[in-house]
Amino acid sequence: VNQEIDYDTAEEIAMEFDVLCEKEEVVDVIEELLKEEEEDENTMEKRPPVVCVMGHVDHGKTSLLDAIRHTNVIDREAGGITQHIGAYVVDVNGEKITFLDTPGHEAFTAMRMRGANSTDIAILVVAADDGVMPQTVEAINHAKAAGIEIIVAINKIDKPSANVERVKQELTEYELIAEDWGGSTVFVPVSAHTGEGISDLLEMILLTAEVLELKANPKREARGLVIEAQLDKGKGSVATVLVQKGTLHVGDAIAAGSAHGKVRAMMDDKGRRVKEAGPSKPVEILGLNDVPKAGEIFVGCATEKEARNFAETFISQNKMKLLEETKSKMSLDDLFSQ
C-alpha cells in the first residue's frame, strides 16, 4: 500500500479499473466465441460413452479400472491414493468406452466435479464392506448436478464382511433405488479382485450408452476439455485433453484456456503416437506454449493467429474477473477498517 509506483504503472492499473466499468460487455467474450449453431443431424455420428468412475477413497475405483483394463495402475500410485484424473479407452466386443478415473480423497472435490461435468455416465463405486461414506454422497451430488446417469458398482463383494443389501438400503436415502427394491437405478455387485460382475458392469454401461444415443460430428474443428496438464522438462507443456466434438490432428492450431500453439505430437492412453483423435478420445498433446488449467476448454482453430487471439481473450477475461474479485474484497476490507 505504501509502495511508490511510477506513472506508467499507475496508468496501466487505472486503465484496467476503467475497463472494469464496461465489465458487462467484456466478461462473456469467451462464451460468445464458443456459442455455435445447432449441428446438422446428418453430420452426427455415434461416439463412445465417456464414463467417470467416482466414489469414496479406497473403495476400489482404480482397482476396478485395472481389472477392466488388465493393468496395474494402483501399484504405481503413491500410497495407493489417486491424485489426478486418469483417462483410458477400453474395447468391449468392438465397442469403445472412455473411462475417467477420479480420486476419492476428500481433498480432490474439484477434480470429481470436473470428472462429472465432462462425462455421460458416472459409475458410483461403493465398497460393500464400508457402505456409503462422505465422498460417496459428494459424488452422487456432483453426478446429479451434472445431470448424468448413475450406475452403482458395489465393489469388494469377495470380502467376508461384504453386505450388498446394506449398501442398497443406504443408497435409497439418495434416491438411488435398485431395481429389485422397486426403483430404476442399475446396481452391479462386483469384485475388482476376483473379476466377478465386471462383464455385467461393462454390459450395463454399453446398454445405458445406447439409450443415450451419444453422437458427435467428427468432421469439424476439435473442441473439448483439458483433463490435466503439466510442464515436462524435456517435452515442455504436456496436456491430456478429452476431445468432445470434431477431430484433433497433429499440426492443428489449438488454444487451451490461456495457452495456445500447434499440436506437435499426440499420444493415446497407451502411450502410442497417433495422428488424429476423434470424439470421446483422450489424448496427450505436445506443442502448447503454456500449461493450461485442468477443466479449461480447448478449441481447434483454423490458424495459429486465431488460436493466439482466443488465448489472449481468455487471459484478459480472467484478469478482469480477478480484478473484479480483488475489488470487491478491497471494498469489504475498507468497510472493516473504518
Does the footprint of Mg ion cover residue 61 (CB under 5 A)? yes
Residue 185: CB minimum distance to ligand GTP, A: 20
Q: What's the alpha-carbon Rg for the chain, to the nearest Å?
A: 23
Tell me which residues are annotated as active site.
105
Residue 32: CB minimum distance to Mg ion, A: 38
When the beta carbons of 133 and 291 are compared against ligand GTP, the nearer one is: 133
- Consult the annotation and say whether 289 binds a ligand: no
Q: Out of ligand GTP, Mg ion, none, which partner does residue 156 contact, by CB within 5 to 8 A per kind? A: ligand GTP
Cα 231 from Cα 13, distance rounded (Å): 31
Residues in contact with ligand GTP, counted by CB under 6 A, come to a total of: 22
Is 156 in contact with 189 (CB distance < 8 Å)? no
In angstroms, the Cα distances linking 314 to 68, 123, 165, 229, 301 are: 39, 33, 50, 17, 14
Residue 239: CB minimum distance to Mg ion, A: 21
Is 311 in contact with 255 (CB distance < 8 Å)? yes
- Consult the annotation and say whether 142 binds a ligand: no
**List 53, 82, 188, 256, residue binding Mg ion (CB under 5 A):** 82
- Consult the annotation and say whether 155 binds a ligand: yes
| Burial zone of 285 (CB within 10 Å; 0-12 exposed, 13-18 middle, 19+ buried) | buried
**List 156, 168, 223, 260, residue binding ligand GTP (CB under 6 A):** 156
Cα 41 from Cα 39, distance rounded (Å): 6
Residue 128: CB minimum distance to Mg ion, A: 17
**List 53, 62, 243, 256, residue binding Mg ion (CB under 5 A):** 62
Residues 178 to 217: which contact ligand GTP by CB under 6 A? 191-193
Does the footprint of Mg ion cover residue 102 (CB under 5 A)? no
Closest C-alpha among 133, 136, 135, 148 to residue 185: 148
When the beta carbons of 124 and 229 are compared against ligand GTP, the nearer one is: 124
In angstroms, the Cα distances linking 116 to 54, 166, 186 are: 8, 25, 18
**List 159, 166, 215, 262, residue binding ligand GTP (CB under 6 A):** 159
- The 3-state DSSP composition of the chain as helix, strand, coil percent (nearest 5) reads 40, 30, 35
Closest C-alpha among 208, 274, 213 to residue 52: 208
Cα 148 from Cα 326, distance rounded (Å): 35
When the beta carbons of 102 and 217 are compared against Mg ion, the nearer one is: 102
Q: Out of ligand GTP, Mg ion, none, which partner does residue 308 contact, by CB within 5 to 8 A per kind? A: none
Does the footprint of ligand GTP cover residue 85 (CB under 6 A)? no
Is 287 in contact with 230 (CB distance < 8 Å)? no
Name the residues that contact Mg ion, by CB under 5 A.
Answer: 61-62, 82
Binding-site entries: 55-62, 101-105, 155-158
Q: Binding site for GTP: residue ranges?
A: 55-62, 101-105, 155-158
